[in-house]
Amino acid sequence: MITTDRTDIMKKLLLLFLIAYLVYPIQAQSDPKIKRNKFFAGKEGFKEAWKCVKKGNEFYKNGKGYYQDARQSYLEAYNYNPLVPELNYKLGICYLYTDDKFQAIEYLRSAYNLKPGVTKDILFYVGRAYHQVLNFDSAIVSYQNYLARLPNKEKARAKAEIDKLIQECYDGKKLVQNPIRVIISGLGDRINSEYDDYGPVLAPNDSLLYFTSRRPSGKKAERNPYDNKYYEDIYVARRQGSGWTDVKPLGKPVNTRHNDAVVGMTPSGDALFIYRGKIGGGDILQAWHRHKKDKFTSPFQVNEKFLSKYRETSICLSSDSTEVYFVSDNPSKSQGGKDIFMSTTRKKGTDRWKKPVNLGPVINTPYDEEGVYITPDGKNLYFSSKGHNTMGGYDVFRSIRLDDGSWSTPENLGYPINTPDDELFYRPDGLNPKYAYYSTVREGGRGGKDIFRIVFLGEEKELVLASDTDLFAWKQAFPPKAFPRIPDFLGIDSTLVITGKVTDAATGKGVMARIEFIDAGASKTAATAVSDTSGNYRASLPAKTKYGVEIMAKDYLFFLEMVNLAEDTSDVLFVRNFALTKVEVGTKVVLRNIFFETGKATLKPESYAELSNVLKFMEDNPSIRLEISGHTDNVGSRRVNQKLSEDRARAVVDYLVSKGIDRSRLESKGYADTQPVATNDTSEGRALNRRVEFKVIGK
């Protein structure tokens, strides 16, 4: 039995009194009267609806344990007329205190909207309903409005509790804004039932799960009149893979007719700790496990140091059994409500324990603490508390044992592990710290409290998309085009070789001469060659075409002839021989390319090339004297032709003189048609007869 000194007791009693005073007990829900006339007597279904109202009222007035039944009846009446504010209020209350509390807000808000003064506490419960569905801002407003509308006397009494609820909302907002990454899933239909299931206790190797359930354990199962639920019994389940199987109640002597709840286990797994409540108190018992029979002994009270006349509700031994942590509402050294106490053994391995001490204000609060658990390494203390920064009801907290043995400020395990409802009996998985178990009421549960497994996820991870990034496309252009552009054609070297001999026409001997090949088309010199003393020459011509060949040699008349290589079948090599006429007195040369304007003695410019040859010949042979003679055909009068031929001969002489030839070396004569070289009967003949000649008259 835990003992305390008188002073402590007095202090604690005072504190409890203060809390009791400050916390206005807003527990009993109003019972507004649903008026019969709201149900439109006479309308079809009225009788049934009203009957349901009355039935619901019967359940409702019996308290929370009967709200589930009341709700059923009220819902039937609601179907008949959903616009009755009192009915909406009661339905809201029923929902708020049963499994589907998340639906309460719909009805309570309707009740308020239909009739803001439906009850004095409507805004309080609207706040509670908002609180439950995490609508903290609306909850705060509702709480504040509720408080503001209370008469001053009641306001003063209610303020502490409302402030606490508002603080829970602020804390809840923070926690919900920073959710932790967990998966919370029910342990399955074998463990969880439509009744309350809670208090998971794992055997040391995690092969067995003990838990408390308020499901009916048999046909003769009895309900606790206090809350209309079946009495607690302890169940055990065996792990099978990732699930649990073979769920069964422990039976006698552990389970009794009344409440039996499992609250812990020895580190070795040899004994269960069991809580048995009783009016005004409750104690922790211990039952040894007999391995041979696989049965538990009759439960017996744990060490008296852990017990009091008050209520001890949960207990946990350290892994080396040198420390014990337990929860008690013993006001001695209490911070208020249920607190966590701790004791150590006087000697390891014995059942001799020191006087328990309250873990102090760092852990314990003026509100209730519950469900204490120390991890096997002794470093982490998990417990549930209605104080600290709870977001409502019991939240689970963790405190770390610091190096000096003190405990760190408890840290709320966060949302969504904790909710505005009660989260209790948190137990980390002994084999994998990533898992933990606890009991709470969550949306999607089987009904009532359920046992859930928490999976702690690591940091948030971003899924990685996979794409085929062909960032470069050059392979589409590979191998490269062999011919990105068409190569240029080669210019074909069409050079011709012309060779031959320049000889004296009379003797056939070679003559050294200068030979010029003139491209007839382009009127420019294409090549120049010089024959050797034997008269041999060679020249390269660019194309197979028509050339004028001009040959100059000293003491020889200049030579001019057309050579048409295009008509030759040779491809590269052409042979052409040229015979030159030696200059002798009396030698005549027809100047074929001397042209005059028709009927006149005016030289045409195209005559100059031929005249320049004559000029050059005279320059090359400075002693030569020439007679320039003009000739006509026989067309026209002799007199006219005579004058024309003389004039034309004189024009040539004048040209040569103008180019620097001494006039004394030149004579001009006109022969009209007297010296024809061809017939005058044809135009071709007449063309040949129309000519200018020179004759060597001195050398």
Q: Given candidates 42, 479, 599, 660, which one binds other proteins under the rule CB under 8 A?
A: 479
Query: Any contact of residue 241 with other proteins (CB under 8 A)?
Result: no
**Residue from the set 44, 489, 598, 658 that interacts with other proteins by CB under 8 A:** 489
Q: In the numeric block, which tokens belong to residue 355?
A: 């006087």
Between vectors from CA 119 to CA 113 and to CA 124, what angle results, nearest 5°? Answer: 80
Residues 181-220 binding other proteins (CB under 8 A) are: 183, 185
DSSP character for 111? H
The nearer residue to other proteins, 487 or 586, going by C-beta atoms, is 487
**424-455 burial code (b ≥16 CB/10 A, e <16):** bbbbbbbeeeebbbbbbbbeebbbbbbbbbbe
242 versus 523: smaller Cβ distance to other proteins? 242
Q: Residue 78 is encoded by which pair of tokens? A: 């609601």
- Under the binding rule (CB under 8 A), the answer on residue 432 touching other proteins is yes
Give φ, ψ of 499 to 5 degrees: -140, 165
Residue 538 or 582 with smaller CB distance to other proteins: 538
Tell whether residue 466 is a contact of other proteins (CB under 8 A).
yes
- Give the residue with the Cβ less far from other proteins, 44 or 470: 470
Nearer residue to other proteins within complex by CB, 407 or 435:
435
How far apart are alpha carbons 142 and 40 in whole angstroms? 32
Neighbouring CB atoms inside 10 A of 97's CB total 19
Min separation Cβ 138 and other proteins, Å: 27
Nearer to other proteins, 280 or 480 (CB): 480
Q: Of the candidates 520, 562, 518, which has an alpha carbon nearest to the alpha carbon of residue 539?
A: 518
- Tell me whether residue 491 or residue 586 sits nearer to other proteins (CB atom): 491
User: Does 469 interact with other proteins (rule: CB under 8 A)?
Assistant: yes
Q: Which is nearer to other proteins, 357 or 573 (CB)?
A: 573
CB of 476 to other proteins, least distance (A): 7
Contact 85, 118 (CB under 8 A): yes
Considering only the stretches 15-23, 332-340, 370-378, 431-439, report the one whose residues sit in contact with other proteins under the rule CB under 8 A: 431-439
Could you tell me the CA-to-CA distances from 265 to 261, 272, 565 in Å, in that order? 12, 4, 127
Taking the complex as a whole, the smallest distance from the CB of residue 369 to other proteins amounts, in Å, to 29
Q: What is the smallest separation between the CB atom of 568 and other proteins, expressed in angstroms?
A: 14
Cβ 272 vs Cβ 204: under 8 Å: no
C-alpha–C-alpha distance, residues 509 and 580, integer Å: 10
CB of 571 to other proteins, least distance (A): 7
Region of 10-18, 94-102, 201-209, 569-577 interacting with other proteins (CB under 8 A)? 569-577
CA–CA separation, 192 and 250 (whole Å): 16
Gap between the Cα atoms of 162 and 24, Å rounded: 8
Closer Cβ to other proteins, 185 or 207, answer by number: 185
Comparison of 267 and 542: residue with beta carbon closer to other proteins: 542
**Angle at the Cα of 339 (from 327 to 426), degrees rounded to 5?**
55
Judged by CB under 8 A, the residue of 25, 279, 349, 490 near other proteins is 490
List, in order, residues 6 or more apart from 312 with CB less than 8 Å away. 275, 282, 283, 284, 306, 326, 327, 328, 330
Alpha-helical (H) ranges within 35-133 are 46-61, 67-80, 85-96, 104-114, 122-132
Residues in 496-535 at the binding interface with other proteins, rule: CB under 8 A: 497, 514, 528-530, 532
377 binds other proteins (CB under 8 A): no
Cα distance between the two ends of the chain: 171
Q: How many residues bind other proteins (CB under 8 A)?
A: 52
Q: Binding pattern to other proteins, positions 434-453, x when CB under 8 A?
A: xx-----------------x
Q: Which of 180, 455, 543, 678 binds other proteins (CB under 8 A)?
A: 455
- Candidates 27, 279, 486, 523: give the one binding other proteins (CB under 8 A): 486
The three-class DSSP label of residue 24 is coil
One of 377, 403, 404, 470 touching other proteins (CB under 8 A): 470
Q: Residues 568, 574, 575, 581: what is their CA dihedral angle, to the nearest 10 degrees?
A: 80
Preceding amide of 416 cis, omega within 30:
yes
Considering only residues 82 to 101 of the shown chain, the ones binding other proteins according to CB under 8 A are none
Q: According to CB under 8 A, which one of 7, 25, 444, 478 is a site residue for other proteins?
A: 478
- Give min distance, CB of 198 to other proteins, in A: 21
Binding site for other proteins (CB under 8 A): 183, 185, 432, 434-435, 453, 455, 457-459, 461, 463-474, 476-484, 486-495, 497, 514, 528-530, 532, 538, 571-573
